[in-house]
Structure 1
Amino acid sequence: MRYGVVVEDLAVEVMAELPSDHARREVLGLIECVRRDPRAWPDVRDPGSWEEIRKAFGPRCWVQYMPHAGAIEVREIGWIG
């Protein structure tokens, strides 16, 4: 199954504020890895939560996302670089 990507508004804002093109490429590369195999990353939902929330880590970034309806929804992006 091929997944699409939906990006929440806050994650879009973070992408716009990344310090360089290299940082954006790194984040987009991680999102592409997640898109190809969304369930390969750990489920980090709180006990009792019905939403499947996963988190993936790159060398200097991370994304929190939800796989659903044939797509991934990127909820948060973090950058430590």
Structure 2
Amino acid sequence: MRCGVVVEDLAVEVTAELPNDHARREVLALIECVRHDPRAWPDVRDPGPGEEIREAFERRCWVQYMPHARAIEVREIHWIG
């Protein structure tokens, strides 16, 4: 856990495979924005599950996450740059 952020194993692997430091900074900046206001991004869950799953987008990346009381859980990171 880092400053209210829990990152799933797959998301950690994707972050490690990003092409350069600029890409990592862009992804981390998006995660920081999400951490500050996690419910500002759209809820994308299916009607059935009880989990609140949201997605946040930047120009070349997006993250899928779950907000919790004092943290966010980053489930997936995608990079298209």
- Secondary structure, aligned partner of 1:51: coil
Which TM-score applies when normalising by structure 2? 0.95
Distance 2:68 2:37 in 1: 12
- Once residues 22 and 10 of structure 2 are traced to their aligned partners in structure 1, the CA distance between those partners, rounded to angstroms, is 20
Q: Deviations over 1:25-76 (max 9, x none)?
A: 0000000000000000000001111000000000000000000131100000
- Secondary structure of the residue aligned to 1:10 is helix
- Tell me the distance in 1 between the aligned counterparts of 2:47 and 2:69: 22
How many percent identity over aligned positions?
Answer: 85
Residue in 2 that maps onto 1:12: 12
Report the equivalent of 2:63: 63
Alignment of 1:15-26 (within 5 A): 15-26=15-26
How many residue pairs get matched?
Answer: 79
Deviating runs (4+, > 2 A) in structure 1? none
What does residue 76 of structure 2 align with?
Answer: 76
Q: Which amino acid aligns with 1:19?
A: P
The root-mean-square deviation of aligned C-alpha atoms, in Å, is: 0.9
Q: List alignment gaps of at least 5 residues for structure 2.
A: none
